[in-house]
Amino acid sequence: MTILFDLEPILKGDRRAIARAATLVENRRGDALLSQLFPHSGRALILGITGAPGAGKSTLVDRLVANFRADGKRVAAIAVDPSSPFTGGAILGDRIRMMQHHADDGVFIRSMATRGAMGGLAAATADMTLLFDAAGFDVVIVETVGVGQDEIDVARLATVTVVVLVPGMGDDVQAIKAGLMEIADLFVINKADHPGAERLEREIHYADIAVPVLKTVASEGKGIDELVQAVRAVPGQNRAEERWKRRMREMLRERVMEKLSWEELDLAAADVATRRRDPYTLIHDLVERFFAGKPARISD
């Protein structure tokens, strides 16, 4: 952690310096840089936008970016694709739609590439938000395209999380509401001009959910001002410690995984597949070796 980076271009918002740093972070080689940037972070609003495919999240993000820009804010947007097979097609659409902002120096768009099976998507995304935060962006929007645990982990890293619903999802609505309550600071019923919007709103109210519900028609820019106001009213900063707990667990998990010797494990797979070796004893011995006599304590 002794490599020293020239932070000035990043802190001043130089786009090429930020892009280079983002690549470093995405390639998981950014820790030394991020360590230096860390004291400069903590000012941005990290805004998570999540919800099922087809909910119109990308259009909503597009409108939010425009709204924050009109208010003079610098905005970074990260589109996260956790290699979910159900969302693979969405990122490209985002990119094309966001092109209109590319000429604007106050907007920086980045999509997170697919991560491997060993996870780390939440950690990588969190690092990326810290970079943009330190680089002076007032708002960092993290759009998670999909509905799985990965996306939930990513959503939890945000200061404020908006869950986007749409009318007409049928029987799944009840399940969606129940599980998303713990991460949602705000619900948005997008496509609120579609049939069923009123019913969806009533269902949420009947379910006795304490989370505010807003309605938008993102494609027409309706309800965006109200959404931005509601986002600003969420006291998200209070939960910084809780967020850092989750985030450091994610960081530790990722960094430990990188250190393990996967290749030798792979070599043993042939013997296990033919029942010549027992994987439980093999893994047990391996884990014992890693930790034997090592107190797992953090230095003060």
C-alpha angle 48-49-54 in degrees, rounded to nearest 5: 160
Q: Which stretch binds a copy of itself (CB under 8 A): 64-72, 148-156, 190-198, 206-214?
A: 148-156
Binding track over 43-82 against a copy of itself, x by CB under 8 A: ---------xxx---------------------------x
Is residue 256 near a copy of itself by the rule CB under 8 A?
A: yes
Is residue 279 near a copy of itself by the rule CB under 8 A?
A: yes
Outline where the chain has alpha helix (H).
8-11, 15-26, 31-37, 57-70, 90-98, 121-134, 149-155, 172-180, 197-206, 224-233, 240-259, 262-273, 279-291
Least separation in angstroms between CB 284 and a copy of itself: 5
Binding track over 111-130 against a copy of itself, x by CB under 8 A: ------xxx-----------
Q: Report 195-224 residues binding a copy of itself (CB under 8 A).
A: none
Nearer to a copy of itself, 75 or 254 (CB): 254
Least separation in angstroms between CB 140 and a copy of itself: 17
Distance of alpha carbon 135 from alpha carbon 25, whole angstroms: 14
Tokens of 12: 């001043």
Nearer to a copy of itself, 114 or 229 (CB): 114
Considering only residues 48, 146, 223, 236, which one is a binding residue for a copy of itself as defined by CB under 8 A? 146
Distance of alpha carbon 182 from alpha carbon 165, whole angstroms: 15
Handedness of CA 47, 48, 52, 58 (dihedral sign): positive
Among 74, 231, 97, 260, residue whose Cα is nearest residue 164 = 231
Is residue 3 near a copy of itself by the rule CB under 8 A?
A: no
Considering only residues 149, 194, 199, 202, which one is a binding residue for a copy of itself as defined by CB under 8 A? 149
Tokens of 88: 């693979």
Considering only residues 70, 96, 233, 248, which one is a binding residue for a copy of itself as defined by CB under 8 A? 248
Considering only residues 6, 105, 208, 289, which one is a binding residue for a copy of itself as defined by CB under 8 A? 289
Nearer to a copy of itself, 38 or 198 (CB): 38
Count of C-beta atoms within a 10 Å radius of residue 203:
15
Nearer to a copy of itself, 19 or 256 (CB): 256
Chain centroid to Cα 270, Å, comes to 37
Is residue 27 near a copy of itself by the rule CB under 8 A?
A: no
Among 264, 46, 17, residue whose Cα is nearest residue 138 = 46
* Burial call 133-146: b when 16+ CB within 10 Å, e when fewer: bbbbbbbbbbbbbb
Q: Report 85-114 residues binding a copy of itself (CB under 8 A).
A: 85-90
Strand 160-165 and strand 45-51: pairing? parallel
Considering only residues 147, 157, 165, 188, which one is a binding residue for a copy of itself as defined by CB under 8 A? 147
Binding track over 157-196 against a copy of itself, x by CB under 8 A: -------------xxx-xxx-xxx-xx-------------
Is residue 243 near a copy of itself by the rule CB under 8 A?
A: yes
| Strand arrangement, sheet containing 139-145 | 107-112, 75-80, 139-145, 45-51, 160-165, 186-189, 213-215
